[in-house]
A and B are shown apart, each in its own frame.
Chain A
């Protein structure tokens, strides 16, 4: 079957962001959402699902890796390494 590809994002619980969990094939968005429910949340992995047409995603190219990401490497003043994290702060 020649069905479009969809990328699936699941929010594990309230307060956390949707995270990419995988992809699937479906004829349209509603069926993609239902398939995502069956494929990626059958063990209570989530409370919310997004599906996005894979063709709508614009991705950075591996060829651009050096110019995109390397310049940030030596600018340590951008990294929050000079602070002490208060106890109990997670996901920072």
Chain B
């Protein structure tokens, strides 16, 4: 009955499917393949089963990297989400300043990752950089290349500077979609600023904030360029997060099997976290719907 229904659409989808297969599925399968084999030079492989997996999971080094990764991700989420919402709340809802604010907010998002790293690297240099000079000038012993705490501080400030805008823009989009009548009703009901936020703005922003948190989670969990450009994971291993460790294993030590297994575990962690978070948020969303 519906055979003529939009059959043409498939022709447009096919190239995309092919593209996805080449740049996502096939590489992924290759990694799966590596993760269960031992490789020697000259393309000689042995099947190893789950050996690499158990090795990775039991390694102190992996756990440490994962721990650093989790601390980093949750720290920036804890800063960027509330800060982003706060900035969005302060932005004007109409008038000429709207576009000015939006452009200012969008600026950091337009700068490539490695450039951000380079900018902050120079900006924070204790002897040359403005930030480093000022901090040292006012009495802090600040040197991100030597002190782990300073490296962390720089990394987090950098990420917050770079990505809070994304949360701001999403939260702002959620905010301006709230009809005026809600604010007027709240005024009439004598609601405090906090009550307006808690009962009108926050519920109406929930969907976009879910998206914002998901995006920021996934992206920060996979952060590589910034710590790499800043200190290459140092000082010591202090900023060696998962992706940096992975590259060290794969390209530094050329442990292809171990790196592959680690990649898969890494991938699954991101997948499971995102999935659980999304389902929990959306289940609440549907509650009371009928």
Do A and B truly interact? Answer: no
Question: Measuring CB to CB, which residues of chain A are less than 8 angstroms from any residue of chain B?
Answer: none
